[in-house]
Chain A
Amino acid sequence: MAPQSKLSLGIKRASRSHTYHRRGLWAIKAKHGGAFPKAEKPAAAAEPKFYPADDVKPRAPSTRKPNPTKLRSSVTPGTVLILLAGRFMGKRVVFLKQLKSGLLLITGPFKINGVPIRRVNQAYVMATSTKVDISSVNLDKFDDKYFARAKRIKAKKTERELFETEKEATKNLPDFKKDDQKVIDAELVKAIEAVPDLKTYLGARFSLRDGDKPHEMTF
Chain B
Amino acid sequence: MPFKRFVEIGRVALVNYGKDYGRLVVIVDVVDQNRALIDAPDMVRCQINFKRLSLTDIKIDIKRVPKKTTLIKAMEDADVKSKWENSSWGKKLIVQKRRASLNDFDRFKVMLARIKRGGAIRQELAKLKKAVA
Residues of A whose CB lies within 8 Å of any CB of B are 80, 82, 92, 128-130, 197-198, 200-201, 204, 206, 216-219
Within 8 A of A (CB), among B91-122: 100-105, 107-109, 112
Contact bitstring B43-58, A, C-beta under 8 A = 1, else 0: 0000000000000000
**CB pairs A–B below 8 angstroms (7 shown):** A80-B104, A128-B103, A128-B104, A200-B108, A217-B104, A217-B107, A219-B103
* B101 to A, closest residue via Cβ: A218
Contact status A197-B104, CB under 8 Å: no
Prevailing SS type, chain B contact patch? helix
Q: How far apart are the CA atoms of A130 and B109 in the complex, in Å? A: 13
Do B103 and A201 touch (CB < 8 A)?
no
Secondary structure type dominating chain A contacts: mixed
Chain B residues with Cβ under 8 A from A201's Cβ?
105, 108-109
Give the residues in chain A near B109, CB-CB below 8 Å: 197, 201
Q: Using A129-B103, A129-B104 as known contacts, list a sample of 4 further A-B pairs with CB atoms less than 8 Å apart, ordered by residue number in A.
A: A204-B108, A216-B100, A218-B100, A218-B103
| Chain A-chain B contacts (Cβ-Cβ < 8 Å), number | 34
Counting chain A CB atoms within 10 Å of each CB, the highest count among B102, B103, B104, B112 belongs to B104
Nearest-neighbor residue (CB-CB) of B111 within chain A: A204
Q: How large is the interface on B (under 10, 10 to 19, 20 to 34, 35 or more residues)?
A: 10 to 19
* Residue among A198, A216, A217 making CB contact with B105, cutoff 8 Å: A198
- Contacting residues, chain B, for A197 (C-beta < 8 A): 105, 108-109, 112
**Which residue of chain B is the closest to A127 with respect to CB atoms?**
B104
In the complex, the chain B residue whose C-beta lies closest to that of A131 is: B105
* CB proximity of B119 to chain A, nearest CB, Å: 15
Cα distance A216–B101 when bound, in Å?
Answer: 9
Chain B residues with CB below 8 A from A129, complex form: 103-105
- Minimal beta-carbon separation of A91 from chain B (angstroms): 13
Contact between chains at B112 and A219 (CB < 8 Å)? no
Say whether, besides A197-B112, A200-B112, A206 and B105 are in contact (CB < 8 Å). Answer: no
Q: What CA separation (Å) do A108 and B111 show in the bound complex?
A: 22
CB atoms of A82 and B104 under 8 A apart? yes
Q: Taking CB as reference atom, which chain A residue is nearest B107? A: A217
Bound-state Cα–Cα, A216 to B107, Å? 13
Q: Which residues of B contact A128 (CB under 8 A)?
A: 103-105
- A-contact 0/1 string along B22-59, CB 8 Å cutoff: 00000000000000000000000000000000000000
Which of B101, B104, B112 interacts with A206 by CB under 8 Å?
B104
